[in-house]
Amino acid sequence: MAQKPSIPKGTRDFSPGEVARRNYIINTIKQHFETFGFLPIETPSFENLETLLGKYGEEGDRLIFKILNSGDFLDKVDPHTYQGKDSAALLPMITEKALRYDLTVPFARYVVMHQNELQFPFKRYQIQPVWRADKPQKGRFREFFQCDADVVGAQSLLQEAEFVQLYDAVFTSLGLKGVVLKLNHRKVLSGIAQIIGAGEKLIDFTVALDKMDKIGQEGVVREMKQKGISEEAIAKAKPLFSLAGDNDDKIGQLRRLLQGSEAGLQGVEELATLFKITESLGLDELQLQLDVTLARGLNYYTGTIFEASAPAGVAMGSIGGGGRYDDLTGIFGMQDLSGVGISFGLDRIYLVLEELGLFPEELDRTLEVLCVNFGASEALAASRLVKKLRMAGVRADLYPSEAKLQKQFKYANNRKVPFVLLLGEEELASGSFVAKDMVSGKQHTYSLDALDEFLEAL
C-alpha cells in the first residue's frame, strides 16, 4: 500500500534554489571567519548524553533529542522502575547518546580532549546542524544550522572587539542594513541584582528584565513580584527601565547606579572599553547598542553578552548571539580557560534576506550556456563544443534529446540560461555556431575555431 511520505515536524527539504541561497550565506560567513583567522573543525552529530545534560539548564535538558539505546533497550531496566512509569528514573537506563544541541558545548569538550595538540589562543569556526526538540514556529526549527566562531585562551577585550567587527563584516557583505548588535555584560547584571538586594534571584531577575521590549515595564515588574523579588528591590531597579540616551550616556548612568558593586563597575568599564575600541576601528552597517535588558545564555556566559537582532520591520527574533564564558571547559576538567564566541543563525538570516529581497539574482543562474540538440550528428559536434566550454570553466550543457525547439528554448528560459547555442545542419557544414542572448534576443554567429570570441562576449 502506497503511503503519503512525510518528514518529521520542524525539519525541511532544501531544493536547488534554496541550497544555492544557503550556500551563499554559508560561504559569506565562512569567508569572513577565515579572513579573521578562524580554523574549521567538525564534531559528531551526536554526543554522549552526559556531555550535554546539565549544560543548558532544566529547559535545555528537556529540549535535547535523546537517542534510544540500540538492541534490547529495556534489558537494563529493573522491573520496579518499569512498573513505576517514572520517566526521569527510566531515562538514563534507556538512552546514553543525544543529538548535538548547540556547537559551544561540543567545542568545549573538543578543546579539553585535544588540549595537547592545540595552539592557544585557539580560534575555531564550525558550521553544522544542531537539533532541538522544540515546538516549531516561524524561524524556529527542530533541525537548524549554527555558524559559530569562538576563541579560547585569550582574555583580552580585543577579542570582543574583533567579534563586533566580524558581525559587521558579515552582515555588511550580505547587504543586511540596520542590524542592531545589542551588548550587555553578565557582571553588570549581577552587579545590579546585588545592589538592589536581589543577588540570590539573579536569574529570575534577569529573565524578567529580558522581557522588557515584549511585555513592557509593567509586565516586567509584575513578573519580578511573582518571582518573589521585593518591592523595594524593584523600586531600586527602576532607573534601569528608563535607561536612555546613547551608549556613552548609558555607561555614565550605569557607573552611578553601580557604585558599591565592584564586579558591576568592572563590567561597565569593560563595556566602555569595548565601545571605545569599536569607535576607533569604525563600523560599516552594524549598529551597536548597550541594552541592560539583554540576558541570554546565563548558564555559561560570564562577561560580555551579544545578540544580533533583525532589522526593524522584520518579525524575526535574534539572528545571532554570543558572549564570553570564563570557565566553559571547567566542567570537563580544564580550569582557567577563558573563551568568547558568537553564532550566526543561518536559517533565520535566510528568512530575513528572503523577506527583504536581498539574495543576488545570479544565484538562480545555474547554467550559463545551453546547447540545442538537433539530432545525432549535430549533437556530437555540440558535445565537443560543450566540452571545450566546460574546460574553459563555463557552466554548459547540451539538451539531452532531440526535442522540439520550442521545448528546448522553454527549458532554457525556465532555467534562466543567458545564452542558448544553436549548432544545426547549416552551422555544422560551415563550422560555426549561433549564440542567442536570451535577454536581448539578439543572435550572433561564431566560428567553432574561434571560441575565445564567444567567451569574451559571455
Partner RNA sequence: GUGGUUGUAGCUCAGCUGGUUAGAGCGCUGGAUUGUGGUUCCAGAGGUCGCCGGUUCGAACCCGGUCUUCCACCCCA
* Site residues, RNA (CB under 7 A): 4, 6, 8-10, 56-57, 59-60, 63, 102, 132, 134-142, 144, 146, 207, 211, 214-215, 223, 296-297, 299, 308, 315, 317-321, 343, 345, 347-348, 404-407, 409-410, 412-414, 420, 422, 424-427, 434, 436, 438-439, 441, 443
* Minimum distance of RNA from residue 194's CB (angstroms): 21
Which three three-digit cell numbers place residue 134? 522544540
| Residue 180 near residue 308, CB atoms below 8 Å | yes
Nearer to RNA, 68 or 158 (CB): 68
CB of 47 to RNA, least distance (A): 17
Instruction: Give CA–CA dist 130/360, Å, rounded.
Output: 27
Considering the complex, state which of residue 198 and residue 420 has its C-beta at the smaller distance from RNA.
420
Q: Where are the beta strands (DSSP E) in 315-431?
A: 318-325, 339-345, 369-371, 396-398, 419-422
CB of 370 to RNA, least distance (A): 11
CB of 305 to RNA, least distance (A): 10
CB atoms within 10 A of CB 328: 26
Name the packing angle between helices 16-35 and 346-355 (round to 10°): 120
Tabulate helix, strand, coil % of the chain (nearest 5): 45, 20, 35
Instruction: Determine which helix (DSSP H) or strand (DSSP E) holds 214, and give its type and residue range.
Output: helix 212-226
> Of 344 and 359, which has the nearer Cβ to RNA?
344
Which of 313, 116, 292 is CA-nearest to residue 195?
292
**Closer residue to RNA in complex, CB, 64/268:** 64
Minimal distance, residue 186 CB to RNA, in Å: 13
For RNA, the closer CB: 124 or 182: 182
CA 45 – CA 340 distance, rounded (Å):
23
For RNA, the closer of residues 161 and 298 by Cβ is 298
Cell of 13: 527539504
| Nearer to RNA among residue 100 and residue 268 (C-beta) | 100
Enumerate the β-bridge partners of residue 126.
148
The neighbouring-strand residues paired with 304 are 185
In the bound complex, what is the minimum distance in angstroms from residue 393's beta carbon to RNA?
23
Closer residue to RNA in complex, CB, 124/142: 142
Nearer to RNA, 251 or 403 (CB): 403
Nearest approach, Cβ of 128 to RNA (angstroms)?
A: 13
What residue type is assigned to position 430 of the chain?
A: S
CB of 117 to RNA, least distance (A): 28
Q: Closest separation between CB of residue 408 and RNA, Å?
A: 8
Question: Backbone phi, then psi, for 25, in 5-degree steps?
Answer: -65, -50
Between strands 369-371 and 396-398, the pairing is parallel
Please, which residue, 140 or 276, has the CB nearer to RNA? 140
Tell me whether residue 169 or residue 208 sits nearer to RNA (CB atom). 208
Distance CA 430, CA 168 (A): 56
**Number of other CB atoms surrounding residue 73 within 10 Å:** 13
Indicate the SS3 state at residue 196.
coil
**Which CB atom, from 159 or from 343, has the smaller least distance to RNA?**
343
Nearest of 69, 194, 71, 62 to residue 133 by alpha carbon: 62
The answer to whether the CB of 19 falls within 8 A of the CB of 364 is no
Whole-number minimum distance, CB 431 to RNA, in Å? 13
Distance CA(384)–CA(448), nearest Å, equals: 10
Report d(CA 276, CA 270) in Å as an integer. 10
Order across the sheet with 39-40: list the strands.
39-40, 122-131, 143-152, 339-345, 318-325, 304-309, 180-185, 287-290
Collapse the DSSP code of 1 into the 3-class scheme (helix H, G, I; strand E, B; otherwise coil) and give the result.
coil
Cβ neighbours for 315, distance < 8 A, ≥ 6 positions apart? 138
Nearest approach, Cβ of residue 381 and RNA (Å) = 12
Q: How far is the CB of 297 from RNA (least distance, A)?
A: 6
